[in-house]
């Protein structure tokens, strides 16, 4: 199996080539994390770079994202351990006004793989929805933002938790390409992580497990 087909497939938005390539590689015993970290994620970074060079536009990004998701769907069940007592409950969502969900989905998968029970709130998640999740008993609120214009919603959510008297009931973990540790400190979040695997590690660290 030539995994280049998977890499090229994401860039060209060829959903079929990606799904078939990933399945074939898995059948041949290639590890899910190799497929994810050596092919799918680098391909999506290349798409981002082409977008920045004005070689790709929104439609190309969108079909690339769909192709990537078709590969992720096959990998997800394998990254997720089954039958393990959850180490904690996480509510994860992309913040209000933001529709980017590839990174959020990866974080969600890695969290599940690390033994968390994950409540996926989807995209465009309002501060009130996060507050409700804490009321419902999650231990960690994980927020993703890919736009500088939607990052402030993370602060609004932290403030809403304080206002609801629930700030101490859950840890707040934030991430996404424009987000930094400095921003996390500034808005009073408990943690930041730059990528999906460190996100899962950080969540465990915050809960002391």
Stretch that binds ligand B12, among 28-36, 81-89, 94-102, 161-169 (CB under 6 A): 94-102
> Among 4-12, 46-54, 73-81, 113-121, which window interacts with ligand B12 (CB under 6 A)?
46-54
The correct pick among 22, 47, 67, 72 for binding ligand B12 (CB under 6 A) is 47
Write the DSSP assignment of 31-97 as a string of letters. -HHHIIIIIIHHHHHHHHHHHHTTSS-HHHHHHHHHHHHHHHHHHHHHHS--SPPPS-EEEEEEETT
Locate 29 and state its tokens: 């015993």
CA 92 – CA 2 distance, rounded (Å) = 34
- Choose among 126, 97, 106: nearest CA to 37: 106
User: Which of residues 83 and 99 has its CB atom nearest to ligand B12 in the complex?
Assistant: 99
DSSP 149-176: TTTHHHHHHHHHHHHTT-GGGSEEEEES
Question: Which H or E run contains 120?
Answer: strand 117-125
Per-residue x/- track, 113-152, ligand B12 (CB under 6 A)? -----------------------------xxx-xxxx---
Q: What angle (nearest 5°) sits at the alpha carbon of residue 57, between those of residues 122 and 180?
A: 50
| Closest CB to ligand B12 among residues 28, 105 | 105
Stretch that binds ligand B12, among 24-32, 54-62, 152-160, 180-188 (CB under 6 A): 54-62
Among 176, 184, 187, 190, binds ligand B12 (CB under 6 A): 176
Residues of the chain by 3-state class (helix, strand, coil), percent to 5 = 55, 15, 30
Contact between 102 and ligand B12 by CB under 6 A: the answer reads yes
Stretch that binds ligand B12, among 4-12, 19-27, 171-179, 182-190 (CB under 6 A): 171-179
Q: From the CB of 48, what's the least distance to ligand B12, in Å?
A: 3
Instruction: Extract the tokens encoding 8.
Output: 């090229």
Minimum gap (Å) between residue 137 Cβ and ligand B12: 19
Q: Measured from the CB of residue 83, what is the shortest distance to ligand B12 in angstroms? A: 25
As a whole number of Å, the CA-based R_g of the chain is: 17
Binding site for ligand B12 (CB under 6 A): 41, 44, 47-48, 51-52, 58, 61-62, 65, 97-104, 106-107, 142-144, 146-149, 173-178, 193, 195-196, 199
């Amino acid at each position: 199996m030539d995994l280049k087909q998977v890499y090229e497939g994401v860039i060209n938005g060829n959903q079929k080539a990606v799904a078939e390539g990933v399945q074939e590689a898995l059948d041949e015993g290639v590890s899910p994390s190799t497929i994810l970290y050596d092919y799918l994620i680098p391909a999506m970074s290349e798409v981002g770079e082409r977008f920045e060079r004005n070689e790709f536009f929104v439609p190309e990004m969108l079909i690339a994202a769909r192709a990537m998701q078709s590969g992720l769907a096959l990998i997800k069940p394998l990254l997720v351990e089954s039958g393990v007592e959850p180490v904690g409950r996480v509510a994860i969502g992309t913040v209000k006004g933001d529709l980017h969900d590839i990174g959020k989905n990866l974080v969600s998968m890695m969290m599940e793989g690390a033994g968390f029970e994950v409540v996926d709130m989807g995209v465009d998640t309002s501060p009130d929805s996060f507050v409700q999740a804490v009321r419902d008993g999650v231990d960690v609120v994980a927020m993703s933002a890919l736009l500088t214009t939607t990052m402030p919603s993370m602060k609004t959510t932290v403030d809403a938790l304080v206002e609801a008297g629930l700030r101490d009931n859950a840890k707040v973990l934030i991430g996404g390409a424009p987000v930094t540790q400095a921003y996390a400190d500034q808005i009073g979040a408990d943690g930041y992580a730059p990528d999906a695997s460190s996100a899962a590690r950080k969540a465990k660290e915050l809960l002391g497990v």
